[in-house]
Amino acid sequence: MTGSIDLRSDTVTRPTAAMRRAIAAAEVGDDQYGEDPSVLALEEEVAGLFSREKAIFTPTGIMATQILLRALVAPGDEVVCESSAHVVAYEAGAAAINAQVQFRTVDGDRGRLDADHLEASLRPVGFPNTEVGAISVEETTNRGGGAVYGLERLVALRAIADGREVPLHGDGARLWNALAATGEDPAAVGATFTAFSVCLSKGLGAPVGSLAVGDAAVIAEARRWRRRFGGAMRQAGVLAAAGSYALQHHRERLVEDHANARAIATTVAEAHPGSLDPDEVTTNIVYVPTGTRPAAEVMAALAEQGILVGAMGPHLLRLVTHLDVDAAACVRAAEALARALDGR
Ligand X SMILES: Cc1ncc(COP(=O)(O)O)c(C=O)c1O
**Dist. CA 112–CA 137, nearest whole Å:** 7
Q: Which of these, 227, 298, 216, 309, lies nearest to 264 by C-alpha position?
A: 309
Smallest distance from ligand X to CB 174, Å: 6
Smallest distance from ligand X to CB 12, Å: 11
For residue 89, how many other CB atoms are within 10 A of its CB? 14
For the residues of 96-150, what is the DSSP string, one character each? IIII--EEEEE--BTTBPPHHHHHHHSPPSSTTSPPEEEEEEESS-TTTTS---H
Residue 82, classed as helix, strand or coil, is strand
Compare residues 86 and 226 and give the one whose CB is closer to ligand X: 86
Applying CB under 6 A, does 62 fall inside the site for ligand X?
A: yes
Applying CB under 6 A, does 61 fall inside the site for ligand X?
A: yes
**What is the longest distance spanned by two Cα atoms in the chain?**
61
Compare residues 11 and 266 and give the one whose CB is closer to ligand X: 11
Compare residues 62 and 113 and give the one whose CB is closer to ligand X: 62
Compare residues 82 and 138 and give the one whose CB is closer to ligand X: 138
Applying CB under 6 A, does 173 fall inside the site for ligand X?
A: yes
Compare residues 207 and 237 and give the one whose CB is closer to ligand X: 207
Compare residues 139 and 267 and give the one whose CB is closer to ligand X: 139
Applying CB under 6 A, does 13 fall inside the site for ligand X?
A: no
Smallest distance from ligand X to CB 61, Å: 3
- The region of 56-64, 176-184, 253-261, 305-313 touching ligand X under the rule CB under 6 A is 56-64
Options 66, 84, 98, 142; binder of ligand X; rule CB under 6 A: 142
Applying CB under 6 A, does 194 fall inside the site for ligand X?
A: no
Applying CB under 6 A, does 148 fall inside the site for ligand X?
A: no
Residue 172, classed as helix, strand or coil, is strand
Smallest distance from ligand X to CB 60, Å: 3
Options 13, 98, 201, 283; binder of ligand X; rule CB under 6 A: 201
For 175-202, letters b (16+ CB in 10 Å) and e give bbbbbbbbebebeebbbbbbbbbbbbbb
Options 31, 43, 77, 138; binder of ligand X; rule CB under 6 A: 138
Q: Which of these, 245, 264, 280, lies nearest to 325 by C-alpha position?
A: 264
User: Can you give the binding site for ligand X, defined by CB under 6 A?
Assistant: 11, 60-62, 86, 138, 142, 171, 173, 199, 201, 210
